[in-house]
Structure 1
């Protein structure tokens, strides 16, 4: 009997570390969100989604750039700051990036204070700081200017990053983020760096344009969501808020809805969501196409490979966004 008890005890001691090992959470994904936050409203929701999934993402920082909508980079910086404050984050850096285009800024990068320097240098520093075997995810949900400048300024970071970009109607022409700085996209496509396009495809269900919400859904499921902060935050339309969910309702109240039934796309949320759960879309690897003028040209046999993300599970992504607001885990550095 004593022998049986000893063997049972030994087995329990042996199995305990195995059980503890199995219970360990998955490593958090290191990410920098690069955003034109003041453009409309999808950027704010994607940023909040990342910031309130702190058990999934290790948010190393937020960088901003300016696109045609939302004013210069200061307006985008202030909107990102509002969202970060409403999400209750602390200690996560926020840096202003490029006002101008890649083509205009690149020749000036030897100057001590070129356009976008704070964001570009931050991206480089965080990429270089990644431990061996880890890639920093760069999540640009606006134009690619800051990312292209960082690669041009420090080509070695191509081995330390993974770029997941929300943009393009590929294989169709056009799309807002792409058109704001096509030269930055051409540069990234020319560099051997892991590059993934989360396609938008206006008017088609296969792109993030299909991740749509109605005004009634927003009011019913977003209102009051997220952590409640102690100090009210003034929104860009003048009102004060203590939760991101209430700010979301206000943002939707100042936006134009379209389609039948009237709805609005949460485009950028799709790019963050597929990082959390790749099963919420389909992906395929292919040779990188070339952007010639405003048209895409496929390059048969091109060995420079990229990933295309499409066919997003709208219901799963929106449901997880709501769950995130209801049970937020605030990100930490």
Structure 2
């Protein structure tokens, strides 16, 4: 499979943190998989001063909450409909179903409404206004779009919550290990990529039911929805905190200083699900920390705009 060759100068310029401008974005999410996706979707939709969310894509997932990737995608799609319904947003031509399978082979796309919409939306982008593709689940839909139309790597910036920190002993993380073929497409294609690791970076973003009750519950229908979702995540909240991983990617687009990054060589994903470094590879932007407090303050303030 051949991908367009981007110059180092072009890629580094494209990977500059998006400070001081409104970002065009789509959000690809396995929304029903856990409880953090819901917070990330709401955070993005309640940040119109910084983010222009053009579409939401349902990603596949397979764990105890689904009977397979297709069922996971359908449940994520339904969860997206619930969220936009609470926010009074019309889902038509905004919420799209994603792949029903993971990539069937190393360079075989999984066709879906989401992948095709991403191709169309990306190719319509101007050269000086890239589309940010924020992915917070298995990256199947995004990799499929790249395989369907490789030229989109010239038009997009992918921001992905996937894998663990580069110093972590392994990168056997849920988003990544579900679709290794898709992850390798994203790491190997040369698409401008901002990688936000889970353990070691997004893992700083913990909150508790007490905090959710204080700052989220009673803040409109969406606040109550998020509170109830959080409360159901554990039978025992005594001394318990939960990582809201996915808001890290949205926070990076809102204020890059909250999720500081550096340039690094695109890692090689081994068959053992570990990272390997090759200094001859292209550069990506790599997040190495997440400042917990300003991110949650911003999220809570935006949710608080809707009070009962």
Contact persistence 2:105–2:181 (CA under 8 A): no
Contact persistence 1:257–1:264 (CA under 8 A): no
Deviations 1:175-220 (A, max 9, x none): 110111111111111111101111111xxxx411110111100111
Normalising to structure 2: TM-score of the pair?
Answer: 0.85
Q: Distance in 1 between matches of 2:286 and 2:77?
A: 29
Q: Distance in 2 between matches of 1:249 and 1:139?
A: 24
Query: Which residue is 2:151 aligned to?
Result: 156
Aligned ranges for residues 248-327 of structure 1 at < 5 Å? 248-256=226-234, 261-327=239-305
Query: Which residue is 1:81 aligned to?
Result: 81
Cα distance, 1:257 vs structure 2: 7.6
Aligned ranges for residues 90-105 of structure 1 at < 5 Å? 90=90, 93-104=94-105
Change (3 A) 1:293 1:321: same
Q: Distance in 2 between matches of 1:287 and 1:105?
A: 22
Counterpart secondary structure, 2:117:
helix
Contact persistence 1:33–1:61 (CA under 8 A): yes
Aligned ranges for residues 1-333 of structure 1 at < 5 Å? 27-69=21-63, 70-71=65-66, 72=71, 73-90=73-90, 93-104=94-105, 107=108, 115-171=110-166, 172=168, 173=170, 174-201=172-199, 206-225=200-219, 228=220, 243-256=221-234, 261-327=239-305
Deviations 1:238-271 (A, max 9, x none): xxxxx11101111112112899931001100011
Structure 1: stretches of 5+ with no match in the other structure = 1-25, 110-114, 229-242, 329-333
Contact persistence 2:251–2:259 (CA under 8 A): no
Aligned residues: 278
Deviations 1:22-69 (A, max 9, x none): xxxx54210000000110110010000001111211111001111113
Larger radius of gyration: 1
Q: Distance in 1 between matches of 2:61 and 2:202?
A: 19
Contact persistence 1:51–1:89 (CA under 8 A): no
Counterpart secondary structure, 2:134:
strand
Counterpart secondary structure, 1:63:
strand
Q: Distance in 2 between matches of 1:105 and 1:281?
A: 31
Structure 2: stretches of 5+ with no match in the other structure = 1-19
Change (3 A) 1:116 1:254: farther
